Each structure stands twice: as structure tokens, then as C-alpha cells.
Amino acid sequence: MCDARRVARTALLIAATLAGAGPLAAQQSEPAFLDAPRLELRGDLAVRDVPSFDLGGGVAWRAGYYARLAVLAGAGTEWRDQRAGGTAHVDIVSRYLLDPFRETRWGLYGGAGATVRWTPRERAHPYLLLVAGVEGPERGRWRPAVEFALGGGARLGIVLRRARDGAR
């Protein structure tokens, strides 16, 4: 199957999933996407068949008390045969927060989504994306996080998210 068809099929699957997602019974009194999107900056070290490093960012919305929906993009370099080549990725990920109200200093989260990666040797290639991370205490107006992801390889990310008042 050609890359464009694969990307289109993945995008349609993501759109259909998001369109059908509604609030859970416990969240009925709260409309989704309550506040403005929050900025997220990140650096990712990915290990596939070759290592790569990407810098990127995106935005995340509140999708209920416990959920966040993020659209992220990044670009960087991979090293193959002692030569560098460009890479890029676009992610759509939904995170489930275990401590959305900052009752503890560190907040664990997990999530899933999709990623599309471009490299010099392969055009656009979609992958399922699974994430787990820990968000740290607020530093100024930013909240640092460390995130591990699987999707077309393993990825370790250092993340800075714009802080929310009274919530993660």
C-alpha cells in the first residue's frame, strides 16, 4: 500500500475515534475542551534501527478532568552509517492523568494515540503510539515532564508544558 493511502487511512481512523469520543458519565457536567490550548515544548531521543533526536512542540487541550488531547510535531536528525539525515514526526495523543488536581508533587500519566514519521529512507509511516510519563512540580509558569513512548521504536522525551492554575 502506498504511503499516502496509509497516512490517509490512519488520519481517518483518528478522526473517527475523536468524533465518537464523548465525556464519561462522571464527566457529564463538564464540557470538553474547557480552556484555551496550552503550549508544549519537547526534545525526544528515539531509538529505532538507528538513533535520532527531534525538537518539537505543539498544543494540548483539556478534554475533561482527567484527560488531555495533544497535537505535536517535531523535526530532527537521525544517524545512519556515520551520516546525518533529516527526520520529522506528527503525533496525536490522548493522555490520562492520575493526579489532575496536583494533590501530589509528581503526577503520573499514560496515554495512547498515533504518530506519523518521515525519515530519509522511508516516506510517511504511521504507528500506534503508547506513552507513559511523570510530570514534575511547577517551575515558574512551566511544568517539566519525562515521558517514555513506544511507536515505531522507543522514545524518551523531556517535555515542558505551560502550567495550569490549580491543575495539571
Q: Is residue 155 part of a domain?
A: yes
Q: 116 - beta bridge partners?
A: 90, 126
Q: Is residue 110 part of a domain?
A: yes
* Structure-block grid coordinates of residue 98: 492520575
| Tens-place pLDDT, residues 153-168 | 999 999 999 987 777 7
Q: Output 152 or 28, whichever has higher pLDDT.
A: 152
Q: Is residue 33 part of a domain?
A: no
Containing structural domain, residue 71: 3-20+40-162
Residue in this structure with the C-alpha cell 509528581, named with its chain if needed: 106
Structural domain count of the chain: 1
> Nearest to residue 157, comparing CAs of 55, 49, 37?
55
Residue 39 has pLDDT above 70, yes or no: yes
Supply the pLDDT for residue 163: 87
Identify the burial level of 47 via C-beta atoms within 10 angstroms of its C-beta, where 0-12 means exposed, 13-18 middle and 19 or more buried: exposed
* Structure-block grid coordinates of residue 105: 508533587
**Which range, 16-20, 33-37, 42-46, 99-103, has the best average confidence (pLDDT)?**
42-46
Q: Is residue 28 part of a domain?
A: no
The dihedral region occupied by 27, where left means phi > 0, alpha psi between -120 and 50, and beta the remainder, is alpha
Residue 44 belongs to a domain with what CATH number? 2.40.160.20
% of the chain residues with pLDDT over 90 = 58
| Tens-place pLDDT, residues 115-129 | 999 987 778 889 999
